[in-house]
Amino acid sequence: MSDVLVLEGPSTLDGEIPIAGAKNAALPCMAAALLTPDPVELENVPPVQDVFTLRELLMDLGVDVQVAGDRWTLQAEQVTSTTVPPELTRRMRASFLTLGPLGVRFGSAEVVYPGGCAIGERPVDLHLAGLEALGFAVDQAAARVRIRARRLRGAVFEFAKVTVTGTEHLMMTAAAIPGTTVLRNCAREPEVVQLAELLRQMGADVEGAGTAQIIIRGTSSLRGTAVRVIPDRIEAGTYAVAAVLTRGRVVLRGARAEHLTALMEHLKGQGAFIEVTAEGVVVDARAVADFRPLRVVTEPYPGFPTDLQAQMMVLMTQALGVSEVVETIFPDRFNHVAELQRMGARIELAKPAARVYGPTPLRGTVVAASDLRASACLVLAGLIARGTTVVTNVYHLDRGYVRMEEKLRQAGVSIRRVNPDPRPSTMDLHG
């Protein structure tokens, strides 16, 4: 059985929380290490399960991965396989990012479809259309896809829909193809900008990352380099919501407010005081009176992130009036709703939207996490619920948050991890 988290509420956040490196920035950078036989050094790598899963996958392919604290060195000098291990790909969608880099460097590669997941269908058609445009033959069978380099060349490709990993996948593949590639309707997330920075340091010419059009002049001789992974804006955003929700105060050490504009606007709208200091971002909600109803529409960056939607819904349960979430990225991403209802929330679900009628007191009970961000939402609900909240299936949370219970405990929350199984917990295993 997986660990559970036990919270005694209600509590108030008060303290400092260090923000880890962004897993969604670390993962594409790790995949990009496949593009060169030289060492690629990543600093500030977060010790979360998704990152460990990709490490395992890369090591299975023959990549040497040296870990010294948060400094990881990856060297793809002796890649022994171009078939991505299926069970690891199924476990984590970002593994799909290894396909293009393997294909461009070794001529062919094979991977199983990552398939749907708890937050709904997640197709990869745009990744594949882009790889075809770059000159790969794409052979799709029932469960797997194989690419073969036919005549690789720079290309002009427009994404039919904004996709984060799709943009990253084509950007890194194009970086290793001599010629000019123009990608249009790109994702503008800070994680895309970080990858562009890495690729530039590796020797490609990448312009426009952070805008809708990215121009890449690739080279077949990418080299090793070192980068520092940017802070995790979703982790920071989760604790910012927690501080406001509990009318507390938190210093998010190392966070970058400019990556969280859409969220911060909502929190300021609630009367929270947000200050950017040399240390990070201070969120102070001690003077907040009643919460106002909110309307959140998830959108590609710089819009409101889908990865913070579930957490925001907890705040909505405490607002005076009717709030609304419209989920435009993953219309099925509402796994948290039933659990919040069991805690006392009044939510009407009509996908892709949900209406939240507040305020309703929440009460502690046993709730089951079903995906990464839904788990974070349930922990936040446990902060304001009366009594004991037990969040089960914590392995979802461990995929993306570094020791959440320790960080919350340091900020004054009564929370503990319990391992109902005598075997060592994930945290014990990975330090």
Residues engaged in binding ligand UD1 (CB under 6 A): 24, 27, 93-94, 122-127, 161, 163-166, 187, 191, 305-307, 329-330
Q: How far is the CB of 66 from ligand UD1 (least distance, A)?
A: 23
Nearer to ligand UD1, 93 or 266 (CB): 93
Contact between residue 226 and residue 42 where contact means Cβ atoms under 8 Å apart: yes
For residue 322, with 0-12 CB atoms within 10 Å meaning exposed, 13-18 middle and 19 or more buried, which class applies?
middle
Q: Which two tokens stand for residue 129?
A: 């259309």
10 Å CB burial of residue 431 (0-12, 13-18, 19+) is exposed
**SS3 state of residue 389:** strand
Q: Clarify whether 117 is annotated catalytic.
A: yes
Which one is catalytic: 29, 117, 186, 377? 117
Complex with ligand UD1: residue 107 or 120, whichever CB lies closer? 120
Query: For ligand UD1, which is the closer residue by CB, 266 or 399?
Result: 399
Nearer to ligand UD1, 191 or 398 (CB): 191
Least distance to ligand UD1 from the beta carbon of 197, Å? 16
- Whichever of 176 and 234 has its CB closer to ligand UD1, that residue is 234
Length of the chain: 431
| CA nearest neighbour of 145 among 104, 79, 84 | 84
Return the closest-CA partner of residue 294 out of 265, 274, 273. Answer: 265
Nearer to ligand UD1, 24 or 311 (CB): 24
CB of 401 to ligand UD1, least distance (A): 13
Residue 282: HSE in the Cβ half-sphere, 13 Å Cα cutoff: 11
Q: Shortest approach of ligand UD1 to residue 140 CB, angstroms? A: 13
Contact predicate 136/174, CB 8 Å: no
**Nearest distance, CB of residue 282 and ligand UD1, angstroms:** 26
For residue 409, give the nearest of 15, 48, 3, 49 by alpha carbon. Answer: 15
Helix, strand, coil in percent for the chain, rounding step 5: 35, 30, 35
Smallest separation, CB 328 to ligand UD1 (Å): 8
Parallel, antiparallel, or unpaired for β 249-253 and 14-18? parallel
What string of DSSP letters covers 304-370? B-GGGHHHHHHHHTTBSEEEEEEESS-TT--HHHHHHHHTT-EEEEETTEEEEEE----B--EEE--
Identify the burial level of 278 via C-beta atoms within 10 angstroms of its C-beta, where 0-12 means exposed, 13-18 middle and 19 or more buried: exposed
Residues known to be catalytic: 117
